Chain A
Amino acid sequence: MAFNLVAIGTSLGGLSALKIVLQNLPERFITPIAIAQHRHKESDNTLSSLLQQFTGLPIHEVEDKQKILPGHVYIAPADYHLLVEAGHFSLSTDEPVSYARPSIDVLLESAADVYGSQMIAILLTGANRDGVQGLAAVKARGGVTIVQEPQTAESPILPRAAISTVQVDSILPLPCIAPYLVHLCNPAGW
């Protein structure tokens, strides 16, 4: 099964968790990755330049209608929701969801609409419930759902809420997530 998108949502503690996921992905990892990380509305693009230090995959703060390309990592810009359309992204300034803009629910629900069973959704560390509904939507459309093992999360609230609400496919310690993605997206090896 080929996947068209990996969507990752995280909140409190996300920066160090994302660092570990990204640095363990090979540079040949071709499935596009979209990330919604809760952040302050006036933060600049330091998040993407920080994360860029840990991966050879090019990282972008999404601009409206940017194409989704293989081997690229896309980050929801501060103060915008990131939505997935067929083959590209859209942004919105609709009101925050669970106090968050970008919201993880918005990213995952829109991605589930477009990619259905051909996507993987991952929830990492976080201190509120934004993302749980989105993960449920991905599950309902047949996508693969992965949650960080709560004990390995800086803030276990989001992973716990997800596990108790959604019948998730895999619960993995943080260091195992990247290898598992490689296994899912390229089972035949490189």
Chain B
Amino acid sequence: MKKWTLVPLVLFLVLSLLFYRALFRENKNDLPSALLNRPLPEFQLPAVLNPERLITAKEITGQVFLLNVWGSWCVACRVEHPYLMELADQGVTIYGVNYKDEQADARQWLKQKDDPYVLSVADVDGRLGIDLGVYGAPETFLVDQQGMIRYKHIGIVDKRVWEEDLKPRYQALQKESG
């Protein structure tokens, strides 16, 4: 029995380990964003609370902010909402993409529950969502001062997600931009 006959076994074990890790990793259903380090897609959409006003990507570029995809139909967004309020109170800049929502419901949500967003744009047919590679709600993007998407979190942003994933990046980007 020469040593090298063990090679296939070792290879098999290495592969098994890789598969095992992939199988049991957290959030295995979250797809990595294809838009990382790419600019925010162009859009021109009405503001939810002021439909007369058309908002463009250019208009909101120039600062570090979170872009939160939400809808009044989305149960997880309801869970997330109070924490977004907390973040907004701490001075975190959050813009909203109101994704595939009835506008009356969206406005009611913002009035009843409070509004953590600088403003939300109405993406009624979900086209901006598709340009962002969104496949559900909530999803939250971190956008830098140049309007580049630098990070994406799929699912609810809570204290742990903010402290561990978003806050360090958000603050680093703010430092970068002085």
Do A and B come from the same complex? no
